[in-house]
Amino acid sequence: MPTIKDVAKSAGVSPSTVSRVINNHPRISSETRKKVKESMKRIGYHPNIIARSLVKQKTNTLGLVMPYSTEEAFADPFYSEILRGIGSVAQDKEYSLLLITSNGEQEELEVTLKAVRSKRVDGLLILRAKSNDALLKELKELETPFVVVGRPEDEKNNFWVNNDNIESTKNLIEYLIGLGHKRIGVITGDSEYIVYKDRLEGYRRALYHNGIEYNPNYVIQTTGHHGLTTRYTKELLESYPKLTAIFAVDDLIAYGAILGIKELGLKVPDDISVVGFNNNPLSQLITPALTTVDINIFELGSTATKSLINIISEDPKEYYHEIVKTNIIVRDSCGGDKGEVDGNGE
Amino acid sequence: MPTIKDVAKSAGVSPSTVSRVINNHPRISSETRKKVKESMKRIGYHPNIIARSLVKQKTNTLGLVMPYSTEEAFADPFYSEILRGIGSVAQDKEYSLLLITSNGEQEELEVTLKAVRSKRVDGLLILRAKSNDALLKELKELETPFVVVGRPEDEKNNFWVNNDNIESTKNLIEYLIGLGHKRIGVITGDSEYIVYKDRLEGYRRALYHNGIEYNPNYVIQTTGHHGLTTRYTKELLESYPKLTAIFAVDDLIAYGAILGIKELGLKVPDDISVVGFNNNPLSQLITPALTTVDINIFELGSTATKSLINIISEDPKEYYHEIVKTNIIVRDSCGGDKGEVDGNGE
DNA sequence: GTGAAAGCGCTAACAA
DNA sequence: TTGTTAGCGCTTTCAC
C-alpha cells in the first residue's frame, strides 16, 4: 500500500505538501494540488486514518454504548432505528461508529472505559439512562465528551437528548380519561431505567390533574420477558376486574398484555382498552392496531449525535439538553369505558 | 495522559521493557514485570491503541456492513440480534466493532471501501447476500478478509455463513403439505436478496417432491413495506380463493399477510394457514401465534465472527462456509386443509 | 533480560 | 507557496 511518501516522490514534491493537499490547506498552488491529486490517483493512494489519528490525537470515532441486554430486550427495533439516526449524521459529519456491547453492568463499565482510555473514541453516545449510573460518574472523571439518550438522574450536569416522557404520558393517559376510563392498570418495566419512572410519573400526574386517586395496586412491574408480561396482566385483571384500561410503558409490553387479555376471554378494545408507547412499527399490524406514542427514535439518534459532535468540537461551557417531540398515534385499541356505568354496547 | 515513556521513567526501565510487559513478552524477569505493572497502575497508564495499531499494522477492528435500508427493513430485530451474536465473540477475542451504515448501494460501496483502504478495519462482516454484488468484487480485489452472512452468488469463492434456506423451506412447506395443503400462496421479498430466492426455491422443491404443480401466479413479490404486503395478500386471495395456505418468507411479511387475511373476513388458521420465517420474537405474541422457522440469528452472528477472526489470523488457503441449523417452530397459525374437499369444521 | 535506535504514516511548526 | 524537521505513542530489531 502506497504512503504519503510515495505520492510525494511520484509528484516530485515533499510529503508535507501532499499532506496539505489531503487536508485542503488553503495556501497551495492549484498547480501543485492538481499534480499531487493525479499522483494519488495514479498510484492508488488512500490516507491511513490510524496514522492521522495518532498525530492529531483525535480518532473521529464515536462510541455507541449499547445496553447490555437479554435476548428479548434486544428484539426491540428501537436499537436498529436509533442506529439509523446515529449513522445518518455520523456519515454526514465524517465520523465513524464504534459499537460497544457487553453482557452486564460490570463488563459494560470495563469495556467502555477501556475504549476511552485507550483513545479509541472521541466521545460516547450512551443509549439509555439508568438510576445510579456508575458509568456516567467514571466518564465524567475522565472528562470524555458524552451524551445520554434519555434523562440522566443528574440532569443539570449532563448533556442529554430525550422525549418528555412525563408530559407525553400524561397526555396519553388523559386521552384515556377523556374516553371515560378511570381505573387504568399499568404494566411497567424495570424501574432502574428512568424512562419507565418518568412514564409512571406521567400516569400519576394525569390521574392527579383529573381528580382520580392513584392506586399502587394497579401498577405491575414486569421484567421485559414477554411470557411474564402476559401472566402478570392476567393476574392484575383477575385481581382487579374493574380495570377498564391498561397502559403499557412500551409497545412490546402491550403485546404481551393484549395476549393476556385475550387469554382471559376478554376483548380489546370492547372490554379493555390498551395503550402502548414507542410506536413500534408492528403496532399497526397487530389486531387491534395499537394506540401508542410515537417517540421519533430516528430523531432521538440524530439529535444526540449532532450534539455529541458539537460537544467534541466546541467544548461548550454549559450543559444542555434537547427534547424530541412525541405524537399520540390513535388506532383501534381503545374504546370508551363501557363498564358498569353505562354498559351500552354498540 | 501518561505514555509508555512516563511508565518507563517511573519504573526506572526503558520504554521497550514496558512494551514487553504490556505484550506479555516471555523473556522478562518477574521482578521487572512487577515493578512496571505497579508503575502503570500508580500513574494510571493505559496503552494507546491507535499507536499500537500504527506500528503493528493491525487495528483489531471488524467492520460491520449493515444493509442500507428503509425504515421498515430496519425495524427487523434481526439486526439487533445478530449484533448480539457478533458482539459476544468480538468481545471475547478482543476485537472492536466498527459499524458501517449507508443510505444506498453507492454510498455503501464508497464508505466500505474507504474503511478498508484507510486501514480502519482488519476485515469485514457483510450482513446480507445480494445478487450481482459489486461490493464483494471490489473487496476481493483489495484482498480484504471478509465473510458474508448469507449465501453469496459465487459460493465457491467466498467465505460465508448461512442457514440452509432451501432445505429449511422445503421442510416447512412439506409440513404444510402434510397438513393437506396443496395450493399454497407465497409472499416473498426483493428477489435481489439471495435469501428470498433460496426460500422460493425450497418452496418449489417441496411442491415438486410431492407431485404438486408449481403455479407462478401464487407467488407475489412485495417490497418490505407492510401496507403493501397486506394489500398484495388480499389481492392474491381474491384472485385465487382456492388457496388454503400462505407462506411468507419472513415473519414480518407474515404479519402483514395475516392482517390482509383478517381484512377479507377470513380466519387464520381456520380458513387459511400461514407460516413465516425467522422466528421473530413477536411471532409468539400475535394471535394466532405464528408457525415459523427459527434460524438461530445469534449463532449466525457468532459463527460468522469466529470465522472472520480465524481468516484474519490464519489466512486459510481454501474458502469454506458454515451452515447454521434451523428448527421449525409449530404454533397456532396452521390447520389442516378444511377447504372444499372435506369441509368438516371442528 | 534489557536498552538504544529506528520507524509505522502522518501532521505541524518553523524556515526559507 | 513549499520543504525540512521533529514527533504523535508504540513495537521491534539488534546489540549487549
Cell numbers describing residue B141? 480485489
Is residue B265 left, alpha or beta, with left meaning phi > 0 and alpha meaning psi from -120 to 50? left
Yes or no, beta carbons of B50 and A50 under 8 Å apart: yes
Task: Give SS3 for A151.
Answer: coil
Q: What is the mean pLDDT of chain A?
A: 93
Distance from C-alpha of A45 to C-alpha of B252, rounded to nearest angstrom: 44
Distance from C-alpha of A213 to C-alpha of A219, rounded to nearest angstrom: 13
Question: Taking chain A, what is the end-to-end CA distance rounded to the nearest angstrom?
Answer: 76
Q: Which stretches within B158-193 are classed as H helix?
A: 165-178
Task: Provide the 8-state DSSP code for B285.
Answer: T
A281-297: pLDDT as tens digits: 889 888 899 999 999 99
**B53 at A interface, C-beta within 8 A:** yes
Band of residue A320 on the pLDDT scale cut at 50, 70, 90: very high
Query: Closest partner residue to A119 among B49, B99, B286, by Cβ?
Result: B49
Mutate to test the interface with B, among A4, A45, A49 (most CBs of B within 10 A): A49
The answer to whether A148 and A158 are in contact (CB under 8 A) is yes
Cβ contact B58 with chain D strand, < 7 A: no
Among A102, A147, A85, A141, CA closest to A122: A147
Cβ contact B20 with chain C strand, < 7 A: yes
Query: Distance, angstroms, CA A104 to C1' C9?
Result: 38
**Confidence (pTM):** 0.94
**Number of CB atoms found within 10 A of residue A175's CB:** 18
Which A residues in the span 174-213 are in contact with B, Cβ-Cβ below 8 Å?
A: none
Distance from C-alpha of A228 to C-alpha of A255, rounded to nearest angstrom: 12
Q: What's the pLDDT at B341? A: 40
Buried b vs exposed e over A206-229: b needs ≥16 C-beta within 10 Å? bbeeeebeeeeebbbebebebeeb
Enumerate domains of chain A plus CATH numbers.
1-37 (1.10.260.40), 61-163+297-315 (3.40.50.2300), 165-294+328-342 (3.40.50.2300)
Pick the more confident residue, A37 or B76.
A37
Band of residue B339 on the pLDDT scale cut at 50, 70, 90: very low
Query: Distance, angstroms, CA B16 to C1' D14?
Result: 13
Query: Closest partner residue to A281 among B72, B87, B258, by Cβ?
Result: B72
Residues constituting chain A: 346
Q: What DSSP letter does each residue of A191-216 carry, written as one string?
A: TTBHHHHHHHHHHHHHHHHTT----G
Distance from C-alpha of B288 to C-alpha of B331, rounded to nearest angstrom: 8
| Closest residue, CA to C1' of D1 | A28
Q: What is the mean pLDDT of chain B?
A: 93
Check whether A153 has a pLDDT greater than 90. Answer: yes
Cβ contact B14 with chain C strand, < 7 A: yes
**B66 at A interface, C-beta within 8 A:** yes
Q: Could you identify the residue written with the cell 488553503?
A: A26
**A81 at B interface, C-beta within 8 A:** yes
Which B residues in the span 83-142 are in contact with A, Cβ-Cβ below 8 Å?
A: 83-84, 87-88, 90-91, 96-99, 101-103, 107, 111, 114-115, 117-120
* Average pLDDT, integer, range A58-78: 81
The answer to whether A220 and A254 are in contact (CB under 8 A) is no
Query: Distance, angstroms, CA B271 to C1' C7?
Result: 74
B6-55: pLDDT as tens digits: 999 999 999 999 999 999 999 899 999 999 999 999 999 999 999 999 99
Q: What's the pLDDT at A336? A: 81
* Average pLDDT, integer, range B257-280: 96
